[in-house]
Amino acid sequence: MLNVETRHAIDPETAKTFDTEKLRRHFHVGDIFRSGEITLIYTHYDRMIVGGAVPAGKDLVLDEVKPCGTPSVLDRREMVIVNIGDDGQVSADADYPMGRGDMLYLGMGAGKVTFSGGGRFYILSAPAHQTYPSRLIKIDDAATVDLGSQATSNERTIYQFVHPDVMKSCQIVVGMTKLASGSIWNTMPAHVHDRRSEAYLYIDLPEEARVFHMMGEPDETRHMVLKNEEGALSPSWSIHSGAGTGSYTFIWAMAGDNVDYKDVEMVSMETLR
């Protein structure tokens, strides 16, 4: 079963007027991992798609997605699939066995996508202008960057999977950040990047744990309270940061004009409101 929801873009002036319910309606990513189903959110932020597939012992096939306007989803798109569950398999232009934490890049034209096994698959997609080779990337193949410190509660390791330092893609850039034990902050001090939008997914949280995801313009911040396997859409005008009740992992994905990970505008602490 395929479920597709469309989210239209929200400008910062409109976002200032939102209460908690409206903020979550437009920016919250939740309930995308439904047993035996594929659930997608088609966004108007750089036309990025985020979603989930949970085969639960049967094959799930992702082919036509009506908002894309093509016979098959990858006819004019690239895709990254992250397994956050048990061992599973994704089949497209080839068969790709995937363990927990593996990421699979599928290039434009790779065909319909079939999910099977015990995996819980996080799906990310963006429009593509040419075909790059599909590639399964293990965590040992990722480029790593260590940032932060225990003293500032933001000691973390960034794993860059679909990233210029690892491989080529058209516009999608995807990685994973793991916080060290005792650290709770991600991406602080905050930044924005006007040339691309971003999506977050928080994982590895205990049932009772939460992340306070920060968003909004630097001088007009908002927050959403998120639990395990929930995330947020982050427009190009918004900061994206978060603090948890304990350490966690999050998957970040960007799409837009620039794939340079360091192409950001830092926000001073004095600016934040």
193 carries a ligand binding annotation: yes
Rounded alpha-carbon distances, angstroms, from residue 109 to 33, 267, 271: 25, 39, 45
Strands 2-7 and 38-43: parallel
198 is in an annotated binding site: yes
230 is in an annotated binding site: no
Q: Beta strand pairing status for 230-234 and 28-29?
A: antiparallel
DSSP assignment of 2-49: EEEEEE----HHHHTT--HHHHHHHHEE-S---BT-EEEEEESSTT-E
Binding residues: 191, 193, 198, 240
Binding residues for Zn(2+): 191, 193, 198, 240
